[in-house]
Amino acid sequence: MKRLVVLTFILISFTLKAQQAKDSITTVELESVTIVGSRAHLIPGAGQYISSKQLAKLNQTNINNVLRIIPGVNIRDEEGFGLRPNIGLRGTPVNRSAKITLMEDGVLIAPAPYADPSAYYFPSFARMQGVEVLKGSSQIKYGPYTVGGAVNLLSTSIPNSFKGFAHLSVGSFGTNQQRIWVGDSQQNFDYVFEVNRLASNGFKELDNGDNTGFDRRDVLAKLRWHNGASSRVPQSVTLKIVNTSEKANETYLGLTYEDYQANALRRYSATQKDLLNLSHNHISLTHSIKPTNQFSIVTTAYYSTTFRDWGRVNTIGGQSVNNILSNPTLHQLPYQIMTGKANGNIDFQNAARTYFSKGIQSNAQFNFTTGNLIHKLQLGVRIHADQADRYATRSVYAMTNGTMVQTSAGVNGNQENQIRNANSVATYLSYDLTYKGLTISPGIRYENIQFDFQNFGNADNGRLGANLRSATNQMKIVLPGIGFNYALNNGNDLFAGIHKGFSPPGMPSVNSTTGQAKVETAINYELGYRYNNKAVQLQAAAFLNDYANILGSDNMSGGGLGTGDQFNAGNATIKGIELSVGYDLLYKENVTTKMPINLAYTYTNATFRETFQNGGGDWGSGIINRGDFIPFITPHLFTASIGIETQKMNTTLVARYVGKTRTTPGQTNTIVPERNVLYNNVNAIAGFVIIDLSSNYQINKTLSAFATINNITNNKSIVANLPNGYRPNMPLGFNMGIKAIF
């Protein structure tokens, strides 16, 4: 009903004010939500910003395909659409983007960023108008995860006059998108309303022919009151509301190598009931005030709830799926049940989790000058609480003639029954001192976190506490840092920084065999160079993350048992080089035809510096030795694009290379998937190249048409071996549609 009301309002607004349409959209950017924006060349760190104009050229709804144009970003593909991306920055673990600070409009957006940070909910990238990535010393303001960096997604902003946008597209695999938003700014009241739907039948092919796609829907509303332009003290209050729902026929189960070679898009019969139900609600209220031209305060109170129930196959014929994948010949009967060719029992798990995240954050900024010195002081505080309520249930299905039928409904909570709570107080103080071209930016961050873990046991579905095991943990940490930026003449900049990075240790364990997890800390160094003029943009940076303690984790999405425990791995070193170059081959003053080329390259070397007993998860189990490479950190990443742009049209060709990636720790030669190589002996995924093409044509002032071709060469390389088995990228696919700006 709420979507119908919003859509009705949109249509009425369009009817009343369409005559006010102009040639382009101009927006009022809220300073409170922007980390980098157009100021990327001024910060003491390697921050980069992808604008709405760049996103419009690429026409990508998959954030993985977009973030790879930024160096230092490491991504593991999973389901092919980028709905649940696995993102790491500068060598941090990629699994469920759990080791980056993930935000939407400057507010923490992971379901429970402290208590259970795996981002099983990720905002719909299809409705975003920009994305910011911040690395280096200046991201100390955007914790709690300050080793690698922060990703801030920018939702549709309120325009400064009546504007609207509509998007309609269709494509391969039944993929389609419908998006419309309208907004306006009046004398004292502004708004934007948006609805977005992205759906697909899926490109994978279930043995029984069922749908393997998804349907995700979003509603966004922003309402802003502000006083008049002549007011002595400008201030505003903005209410933001987001509702997201999704049903996805998605699975954790991939393929054996032989089955992958026969049909990379296949899905086994045992996954026919796998289903993700997800809902997310967010509300925030932001107050901005500027008592003087030099002093401003932005305060946001926020509350989010997320529910996710991912039902999926767990064990087959008494064997784990990893055992079956590792040796189908040895486990012939379970394999036949998995493929629907034999009858037998399948254990099925509904992993229901309910999250909330709430808090209030305030950021004050004071600018002043004394002689030739320019000063900027920033002070921030955030009081935050979040919770993850895990209530997983295991049931039994019978595979009969290729069809699964439930034979035993499990008692709720018989697989997992626990509550994870976290409370935190975080503050920071930063100071930018500028003298001529030199800016020095010292800063300090403080985190005070309390964890409370309650495990009720799998037999206490009423949570009476008879078998309750609980643990608490409190930690405090001070995180200093300093950055430098020196602006030379003619668009040249040098920047450098050093700061103490940090990640929380997660829940205290009640049954750990390797000891309690400690905080993850690293001293992070950065040295870089930037050059910007009208034709050339260049940024190069070298980085070193010197870990005093790096943490591993046990998540089912990472191939583990799913306990969520974190494990101490001791000292580690991650170092590398980032390079990005943009150049217009046809640049001339007052010439509108352009031929931009863009290059992004990342080299990363990541090794453990201690020998230790690992606790499981996506690093495996057993002894990990000093000098072993850290898995899932790709040494070589390269993205190149070339385009042609005129006043009427633009076309962009993008090639993304992901180098050979280790999947287990080690120092020996890599073994990639091949025929007659056992699954458990594979320690790397071969490198691959994916090429996409996007084109836009301006029909008139209001309408434009676009088309994309993803994976032009129909590359069928294996892109991942997690959570369970080998996984493909999206095959060759087409997408076309129209956009309207009014």
pLDDT in tens, 661-717: 999 999 999 999 999 899 999 999 999 999 999 999 999 999 999 999 999 999 999
Residues with Cβ < 8 Å from 301, sequence gap 6 or more? Answer: 284, 285, 359, 360
Is the model's pLDDT at 18 over the cut of 60? no
The pLDDT-based confidence of 39 (bands split at 50, 70, 90) is: low
- For 584-614, the pLDDT digits (tens) are 999 998 889 999 999 999 999 999 999 998 8
CB 660 within 8 A of CB 632: no
Beta bridge partners of 173: none
Q: What is the pLDDT of residue 140?
A: 83
Query: pLDDT > 90: what percent of the chain?
Result: 85
The correct answer on CATH 2.40.170.20 for the domain covering 2-741 is yes
Beta bridge partners of 305: 281, 356
Give the C-alpha separation, 634 to 91, whole Å.
8
Q: Report the mean per-residue pLDDT for the chain.
A: 92
Is the model's pLDDT at 21 over the cut of 60? no
Q: What is the pLDDT of residue 578?
A: 97
**Where are the chain's structural domains?**
2-741
CB 435 within 8 A of CB 373: yes
CB 573 within 8 A of CB 607: yes
- Residue predicted with more confidence, 509 or 153: 153
Distance of CA 578 to the CA centre of its chain: 20
CA-angle at 243, arms to 79 and 174, nearest 5°: 40
Please compute the mean of the pLDDT values over residues 215-242 and round it to a whole number. 96
CA-angle at 578, arms to 573 and 581, nearest 5°: 180
Is the model's pLDDT at 654 over the cut of 50? yes
Per-residue exposure over 533-556, b if at least 16 CB sit within 10 Å of its own CB, e if not:
eeeebbbbbbbbbbbebbbbbbbb
DSSP string across 26-56: -B---GGG-SSGGGGGGSSS--EEE-HHHHH
Please give the backbone phi and psi of residue 529, each rounded to the nearest 5 degrees, phi first: -140, 140
Please give the backbone phi and psi of residue 670, each rounded to the nearest 5 degrees, phi first: -80, 145
Percent helix, strand and coil across the chain, each rounded to 5? 10, 55, 35
Q: What is the pLDDT of residue 513?
A: 62
Q: Give the closest residue to 547 by CA, choosing from 565, 527, 524, 518.
A: 524
Q: Could you report how far apart the first and last alpha carbons of the chain are, in Å?
A: 26
Q: What is the pLDDT of residue 561?
A: 65
Beta bridge partners of 477: 447
Per-residue exposure over 243-270, b if at least 16 CB sit within 10 Å of its own CB, e if not:
bbbbbbbbbbbbbbbebbeeebbbbbbb
Task: Report how far apart, in Å, the C-alpha atoms of 708 and of each of 77, 170, 230, 417 are.
Answer: 20, 11, 47, 45
Six token digits for residue 592: 């509108």
Return the sign of the alpha-carbon dihedral for residues 246, 248, 254, 258.
Answer: negative
Please compute the mean of the pLDDT values over residues 428-437 and round it to a whole number. 95
The count of other CB atoms within 10 Å of the CB of residue 15 is 9
Six token digits for residue 487: 């602006």
Give the C-alpha separation, 487 to 529, whole Å.
10
Question: At residue 614, what is the residue type?
Answer: N
Q: Give the closest residue to 480 by CA, choosing from 464, 497, 493.
A: 497
Is the model's pLDDT at 472 over the cut of 60? yes
The DSSP secondary-structure symbol of 21 reads -
The count of other CB atoms within 10 Å of the CB of residue 377 is 16
Give the C-alpha separation, 100 to 73, whole Å.
11
Give the C-alpha separation, 219 to 609, whole Å.
48
- For 554-579, the pLDDT digits (tens) are 766 656 666 667 888 999 999 999 99
Of 24-28, 593-597, 631-635, which gets the smallest average pLDDT? 24-28
